[in-house]
Homo-oligomer: A and B are copies of this chain.
Amino acid sequence: MGTQQSRPVTLRTIADQLGLHVSTVSRVLHAKPDESLRAASADTVERVRRLADELGYQPNPHATSLRTRRSNLVGVLVPRLSDIVLATIYEGIEEAAAEQGLSTFVANTGDNPEAQRTRTKMVIGRRVDGMIFGDAHADGRFLAEVAGRGIPFVLVSRTCADHPSVTCDDYLGGRLVADHLLELGHRDVAVVAGEPYASTGIDRTAGLVDRYREAGLPIPAHRITHSRFDVPGGHAATARLLDTPEPPTAVFAVNDFAAIGAIGALREQGLRAGADVAVVGFNDTPLAAELPLPLTTVRSPMLEMGRRGLRMLVRLLEGEAVESERLRPELVVRASSAPRP
């Protein structure tokens, strides 16, 4: 824990106490084993190390960053941390960052372009080494700007153009859902497709739509509607989808929360989710399994996505060429998806 209370211990504290020069102490403490051997005698190395942790020495990161032009900081932008999906991804990022000795700044942008700009500027002002965006918009304008300014970054959760990203294979996820619903006999499915600018929703929808088309059952446009990624969003969207002479026999919501909203909307119309209408979500958030009506959903490796995203950024910062990763989703069948009535 270090015995110091007021005076911060610096390299000089140690150097003076040992009659050495700060540069020597710096080399001893900083360099890897191979280096420190030629920096000082084994005996000196030992004395320096011992005193350093006796005093609880911790290098001043501001001084280091100033000198090295490397902050060991990364900025993370997400739509909302109170969305458990992004929160979990961020947990992965933070975990991996800590392992690498990096720290992260995270900020919400609410998917608002202006906030994206101002928050990015703030974060860059803090001299981060790189950034991770969890709120990429399909139109890619903002990210093009950032790339143009030479800031290294990677994307998580959503893809955009060919910026490096770590995502779930959302398209495949959509296909898995289609396979499942086809198998259950559903010929008429509606999609709560999420925000139109999010690749997650776009790709999940595309996967399902393509698979249905391949099965000879093209999904008409009026069966697809956009929505927010939350409960009220899913509720409203589903209400719209049900406002038709013949309601669909299955609803695919591209997000678990939207799916919960969908269940609510169904109930409101006197339809029983899981019996009259199959409902499938996406992400397998912890709640899905524990709902009164356990939710069929697609598990996406959120924590892993965050971890890999950070490691990809690190490789990028080291100058390596990186390639986008697409993680494998997995269908989890539960009670909410019933066979076609």
**Taking beta carbons and an 8 Å cutoff, which residues of A are in contact with B?**
1, 5-6, 58-63, 65-66, 71, 80-82, 84, 87-88, 90-91, 94-95, 98, 103-108, 119, 122, 124-127, 145, 149-150, 230-232, 235, 260-261, 263-264, 267, 286-287, 290-293
Contact = CB atoms under 8 A, between A and B. Distances in A.
Contact of A71 (B62, B105, B122): B62
A133 to B, nearest CB: 17
A267 B290 CA distance: 11
A104 B76 CA distance: 12
Contact of A286 (B107, B126, B230): B230
B145 A61 contact: no
A300 to B, nearest CB: 14
Contacts of A260: 287, 290-291
Most chain B CB atoms below 10 A, which of A5, A127, A145: A127
A30 to B, nearest CB: 15
Contact of A61 (B87, B127, B230, B286): B127
Contact of A292 (B61, B106, B145, B267): B267
A80 B90 CA distance: 11
A106 B94 contact: yes
A106 B106 contact: yes
A58 B290 contact: no
A267 B292 CA distance: 8
When A and B form their complex, which 6 residue pairs have the shortest distance between CB atoms, in order from nearest?
Answer: A231-B290, A62-B65, A62-B62, A82-B87, A62-B66, A58-B125
Contacts of A5: 149-150
Nearest to A56: B121
Given A66-B60, A103-B126, A287-B231, A87 B81 contact: yes
A264 B235 contact: no
B103 A103 contact: no
A41 B82 CA distance: 49
Contacts of A88: 82
Nearest to A68: B62
26 contacts: A58-B124, A59-B125, A60-B127, A61-B62, A61-B126, A62-B65, A80-B91, A81-B81, A81-B87, A81-B90, A82-B84, A82-B87, A82-B88, A84-B84, A94-B107, A94-B108, A95-B108, A98-B122, A103-B105, A104-B105, A105-B105, A230-B286, A231-B290, A260-B287, A263-B292, A267-B292
Given A6-B150, A104-B105, A127 B62 contact: yes
Nearest to A286: B231
Given A80-B91, A94-B106, A235-B290, 11 more contacts: A5-B149, A58-B124, A60-B127, A61-B127, A81-B90, A94-B107, A98-B119, A98-B122, A103-B105, A232-B290, A261-B290
Contacts of A232: 290
